[in-house]
Structure 1
Amino acid sequence: MEPFSAWMQAQGPDADIVLSSRIRLARNLKDTRFPNHMTADGAQTMLARVEQAILGVQGGWALHFQKLADLSPVNRQVLMEKHLMSPAMMEDPIAFRAVAIDERESISIMVNEEDHLRLQVLLSGLQLSEAWSVADRLDDTLEATLDYAFDARLGYLTACPTNIGTAMRASVMVHLPALVLTRQASQVFTTLAQIGMVVRGLYGEGSDAVGNIFQISNQVSLGLSEEEFIHNLATVTQQIVGRERHAREYLQHNAELMLADRVERAWGLMSHARIMTSEEALRLLSEVKLGQDLKLLPATKSTFAQLTLVTRPGFLQSQSGRELSASERDQMRATLLRKRLQDEAQSA
């Protein structure tokens, strides 16, 4: 079976538009330097201390602790592509970093990224409260063993001042092709910025918004409770989902021919192409997904999130069992997508 994470199953409320809900908590240990100021010995000591705490947690969490230095560059990249660790974890010092992941790949704990610990829970669809419930319980379990850096006035202390307070980042990953096509996305994103939300690309800060996939999250974590931040984001997300659905209805009723031509061209290219770049694949997948959601194209067994992963360089190299050149990846990407669309549509 291919290594797809549970959050990629397209289940949960509004999962056709909300690809995932994520809660991330930043935590640091008391009286210990932040990772960017630690010595090599201090970082190794921190790594061992956190490993012992994670492996000792009770309550059926079943977390697998993995030092990044023991993973190949390709396997590290796959973890990043599956959103189980951040792009920053790919950078040196790899020797002082680790990640703990549960069997369903819904929970991951990054060790020695910007902060000592980055706990995150990923669920499919709009399930922010459910993700927070899991993250909160795991956080309490770890805090019973680890002494967190906490200030009664400022809250949890973090390496970046914007994360102090709750030190929580709640985010949703959404697919908004109709808002982009109807030129409403920029207006929506401007409004989000005015109410304290930030919009980023597929892999968060510093990444591009390809495939009409966007991450929306709270910009600061101080001043409100975790539940209030989550409520605000959930409310905003529901409004965005409503606007995306309205934009899709508009396209169906007012630009039916253009829409049908666009999604069928995308299906045709993906069903017959022999070479495909990563960016082109995401763009075409986005349009195919829109066509499937509107019943203009046949459905496939693989979800949009799963097909997106299939296009990624690390995943392709992991499947092939060796490093691939850019040209080889373009050929393999086209072959995998072509086979999935043709075979799965026939058997769906």
Structure 2
Amino acid sequence: MSAYLQLPLREALPWLDGSGPEADIVISTRGRLLRNITAHEFPGHAKPNERREVAEEILAGLAAVEPARGAHQVELGSLSGHQQMLLREKHLLAEGECRPEHHRHMVVSSDGLFVAKINNQDHLRLQCYAPGFQPGQVLAGLLEWETALDHHLDLAFQEDFGYLTASPVDTGTGLHMSALLHLPGLVMGGEIDKILNALRQLRFSVKGLFGRGRAVRGALFLVTNLVTLGRDEQEVVSDFEFHIGKVLGHERTARQQFFSSDSLGLEDLARRSLAVVRNALLMTSQEGYDRLNHLRLGAGLGMLPDLNFAQLNEALVAIQTGHLEQEAGHPLTVPQKTEARATYLRTLFAENSS
């Protein structure tokens, strides 16, 4: 494995390429498997030397398996503040994951679809991504990695409980499936709270793209299953597919109702936003996500045939502070960021650029 993780601004994340089933609503699917190594304390209770030993053991195991051939790895504590920001904006890191004494590492496969995190809350977190709505493919990818690693690592497992995890709520399969959903129809129709409350009652976590407790932007929601005990992996995926599928059905119904009742108004909304991003000289973050929301809706309804979801998904990441500053090559003030964001969007959505 390479010891260097490249972080260029223009390197598109492969699960945001706009392909895959239901890509007009589901931006991406993610699966996470939580695993721990027998005879070691969980990271939260382990001393630094033991965390270092765990990291070395897992890195050696990853280096020995075929799926990790050509992967990049980085010690998170060695990243600069700006590099950490870039990874957070790509939703590959969370706040507080990069303290050097924690001996945390991240390994990214050569195709960018698999990520392994070491010494987070658990010893090992395997993550697999796919564009669109593909929970079955994501599970297959995770199990391929786990099967390969099982020959090199002694994973903590008990017959009565399943895989042992740092948090009891993750015990069992240790499998969490997530889907990043664009739900403008439900938001505009005033039905979103009812749908999200129903998901929470079914033991799903729901949060905005930028994390729990922050304002939802762009009608984007990350939905994740919480129940991992008492079901095997396929049951977790089947349940996830069923309930997310119902949400997709409600969103399509809401979009069709708006289209049937006021197609001209919807197209006007989308085309006005396209005109703004092609001409604006200043753009706040909030307005940027509002405009992208309208553009995604218009593209999904076939009103903006010149746009594609790869462009729209790329913009969701690239208009954030860290990426704008990387493009500029230096820190930006708030006024400079509003100008840089507008410049980026003008360039991306310029006529004939798609």
Q: What TM-score, normalized to structure 2?
A: 0.91
1:221 equivalent in alignment to 2:228: yes
1:46 equivalent in alignment to 2:47: no
SS in 2 for 1:237: helix
Query: 1:241: how far off?
Result: 1.6
RMSD: 2.0
Give, as a single letter, the amino acid of the residue that structure 2 aligns with 1:10: G
Query: 1:128: how far off?
Result: 0.4
Give, as a single letter, the amino acid of the residue that structure 2 aligns with 1:125: G
* Runs of 5+ consecutive residues of structure 1 not aligned to the other structure: none
8 Å CA contact 1:89–1:113 kept in 2: the answer is: no
8 Å CA contact 1:5–1:104 kept in 2: the answer is: no
1:15 equivalent in alignment to 2:18: no
1:1-348 alignment runs, 5 A limit: 2-59=10-67, 61-83=69-91, 85-88=92-95, 90-93=97-100, 96-205=103-212, 208-301=215-308, 302-342=310-350, 345-348=351-354
- Runs of 4 or more, structure 1, over 4 Å off, are 203-208
Query: 1:166: how far off?
Result: 0.6
8 Å CA contact 2:258–2:266 kept in 1: the answer is: yes
- How far, CA to CA, are the matches of 1:159 and 1:44 in structure 2? 18
Give, as a single letter, the amino acid of the residue that structure 2 aligns with 1:271: R
8 Å CA contact 2:19–2:132 kept in 1: the answer is: yes
Deviations 1:106-157 (A, max 9, x none): 1001111111111000000111001100100101111211111222211111
**Residues 262 and 111 (structure 1 numbering): CA distance in 2 closer, same or farther, change over 3 Å?**
same
* Runs of 5+ consecutive residues of structure 2 not aligned to the other structure: 1-7
- How far, CA to CA, are the matches of 1:90 and 1:334 in structure 2? 31
SS in 2 for 1:113: coil
Query: 1:6: how far off?
Result: 1.0
**Residues 95 and 224 (structure 1 numbering): CA distance in 2 closer, same or farther, change over 3 Å?**
closer
SS in 2 for 1:109: strand
The count of corresponding residues between Structure 1 and Structure 2 is 345
- How far, CA to CA, are the matches of 1:147 and 1:174 in structure 2? 36
Deviations 1:279-300 (A, max 9, x none): 3211211111111222333533
- How far, CA to CA, are the matches of 2:168 and 2:41 in structure 1? 15
Greater Cα offset, 100-109 or 233-242: 233-242
- How far, CA to CA, are the matches of 2:27 and 2:50 in structure 1? 38
Q: What TM-score, normalized to structure 1?
A: 0.92
SS in 2 for 1:121: strand
- How far, CA to CA, are the matches of 1:347 and 1:303 in structure 2? 10
- How far, CA to CA, are the matches of 2:171 and 2:102 in structure 1? 27
Greater Cα offset, 108-117 or 289-298: 289-298
Deviations 1:68-125 (A, max 9, x none): 2333222222222223x23145453576211000122110011111111110000001
**Residues 228 and 150 (structure 1 numbering): CA distance in 2 closer, same or farther, change over 3 Å?**
same
**Residues 54 and 326 (structure 1 numbering): CA distance in 2 closer, same or farther, change over 3 Å?**
farther
- How far, CA to CA, are the matches of 1:188 and 1:95 in structure 2? 39
8 Å CA contact 2:32–2:125 kept in 1: the answer is: yes
